[in-house]
Amino acid sequence: MSKKNNKILVVGSVAYDSVETHAGKRVDALGGSASYFALAASYFSTPTVVAVIGKDFEQTHIEFFESRNVDLSGLQIKSGSTFRWVGKYDPNNLNYRETIDTQLNVFAEFKPILNEEHKSINVFFLANIQPDLQMEVLNQAGKKPGIVAMDSMNLWIENNKADLLKLIPKTDILFLDETELRQLTGVKNLIDASKTIIDLGPRIVVIKKGEHGLLMNSINADHSFSLFACPALPVDPVIDPTGAGDSFAGGFMGHLASLGKTISEISVEDLRKAAVYGTIMGSFTVQGFSIEQLKLVSIKDIEKRYNEFVNLTTIS
Amino acid sequence: MSKKNNKILVVGSVAYDSVETHAGKRVDALGGSASYFALAASYFSTPTVVAVIGKDFEQTHIEFFESRNVDLSGLQIKSGSTFRWVGKYDPNNLNYRETIDTQLNVFAEFKPILNEEHKSINVFFLANIQPDLQMEVLNQAGKKPGIVAMDSMNLWIENNKADLLKLIPKTDILFLDETELRQLTGVKNLIDASKTIIDLGPRIVVIKKGEHGLLMNSINADHSFSLFACPALPVDPVIDPTGAGDSFAGGFMGHLASLGKTISEISVEDLRKAAVYGTIMGSFTVQGFSIEQLKLVSIKDIEKRYNEFVNLTTIS
């Protein structure tokens, strides 16, 4: 792993989260899909954040992102409050959480705006926001960026499925968890479901399974499929799973962006390494509330954990 | 993989199962932990079955086992009916099943009896039966067999925990699923829970996670730990999960037995290969009802799937 200055653009949310888990709680801690993604990706490449914050957003958080070489030229500051989410995890099972409150605030009127420099970026990540906003970003980009990846969630699959089905063919990589993928495709078997997505256009489907790792399917130039399965990296203790999926995507896409390749140049090996880097960035995130742990790691820590992961999973 | 004629003894159940899944149903099909274990292990080594059947047990099933070189000298035939289990899986989720009926029949009075040849076998597998019967087998063996592995379940952890805690120190390898391990140890984190077991005596803990693969922890000669995680092999369609865990153990222990090593000679690499062979034997079992699929496979099929598994999981 060597950090390149290749750029990657993320559109998503920057938020203040109030979260309670068995391990404690935090009030108004830095959160949002774009925050986790950008910080995780910043270890591999140079992220540009397209998002909106309110007047109440703390200057220290602006300075923090800038100190990590995150480009905030796409971050709009609007009068009003920053997006807020309040959630509580089941103290006995971190797979279950309850959303106690969501205040969209300035996010309710969010319209992403890309400048010319943004439009020239080769790798785009459309984090989990309304599909019409994700589409708006691609429309503004004009010609398709070299690599487009997207995430989504049950809410949009339920309420905006038609929009999603228009968007997905314009992307190269789809990230979903197993429940979302089944919900979107109506196909129970995950491999079959991934092929249903690949039939729509994307070359790569990454199925996130949380503590159980991931399954990734991709189509090769000769139309064969390459399937990859890997476990999560067990960490102890898990403090707060919030942001793990976005950190995973940040490590995954940050690594791909660092390669400076086009989508058709990306090899199965590149994708597998990306999946492991993603797994590792997610594993750091869950070890603390908010970005508390993720922000502390060094490139050396990432490499150390990469080697631990290889050691954990290598058969012989 | 080369099949050696090294012996392995299994004590467990030989049963007739009536099972219903989304894919159909079977009535009085060959089942039981010792049946699955012995058939899976027979591809790697020579199993001896210590179990009990009733007068109704079909001669064709006796002949089937004999055709696979399974030694039935420890199989007692008693007047009465063979153990019967009736179960139904949730058509939408194979992780949930309901036991509709259990008829212990001849199994209610089962007392394992080992002859001198049985006692000389180097590798023992105590399948999931009452802990006092598992202990009886070890007592009859006299000096500790070279490698002793055991399985158990929630029923015995709830009702016979003291017996289990006397038995576990006499074993080298414990197989449990994640729920059972947490229940037995009272420890939530699986790695910590595995160390709690290793403190009791076993060197190796294999945590079965079903469709999510496995986690294995083992202690090395220098008192460090080796952790291994691997996914399951995705198969499509899954027909019936009954017997997957016993087939897994059969492949795992069958491979270990084929090496002809003592427990202290077994390397981390040996264990990881065993885990993969186990995974593969489980993957065949779930592709059919009863042993319908497992009995059809050849050593070549196993090697092919082993290579597929390596390909599925290798990072680079």
Segment B134-172, tens digit of pLDDT: 999 999 999 999 999 999 999 999 999 999 999 999 999
Distance CA A306, CA A43 (A): 14
Minimal C-alpha gap between B314 and chain A (Å): 7
Q: For residue A22, which residues of chain B lie inside 8 Å, CB to CB?
A: none
Domain positions in chain B are 7-313
Residue A184 in this model has a pLDDT that exceeds 90: yes
In this prediction, the answer to ipTM > 0.85 reads yes
Q: A135 to each of A74, A185, B70, B149, how far by Cα in Å? A: 16, 20, 62, 56
CATH T-level assignment (fold) for domain A7-176+236-313: UDP-N-acetylmuramoyl-L-alanine:D-glutamate ligase (3.40.1190)
User: Percent of chain B having pLDDT more than 70?
Assistant: 99
Residue A158 in this model has a pLDDT that exceeds 80: yes
CATH superfamily of the domain spanning B7-313 = Ribokinase (3.40.1190.20)
Q: Do A212 and B213 touch (CB under 8 A)?
A: yes
Q: Do B230 and A234 touch (CB under 8 A)?
A: no
Q: Do B313 and A269 touch (CB under 8 A)?
A: no
Q: How many CB atoms lie within 10 A of CB B307?
A: 10
Distance CA B31, CA B247 (A): 11
Contacts of B198 (CB under 8 A, 6+ apart): B205, B217, B218, B219, B225
The model carries a pTM of 0.93
Minimal C-alpha gap between A276 and chain B (Å): 8
Distance CA B27, CA A280 (A): 47
Q: How many CB atoms lie within 10 A of CB B313?
A: 23
Residue A267 in this model has a pLDDT that exceeds 80: yes
Dump pLDDT digits (tens) for A28-76.
999 999 999 999 999 999 999 999 999 999 999 999 999 999 999 999 9
Task: Point out the residue among B232, B234, B315 whose CB comes nearest to the CB of A310.
Answer: B315
Q: Do B315 and A237 touch (CB under 8 A)?
A: no
Q: How many CA atoms lie within 13 A of A86 on its CB side?
A: 5
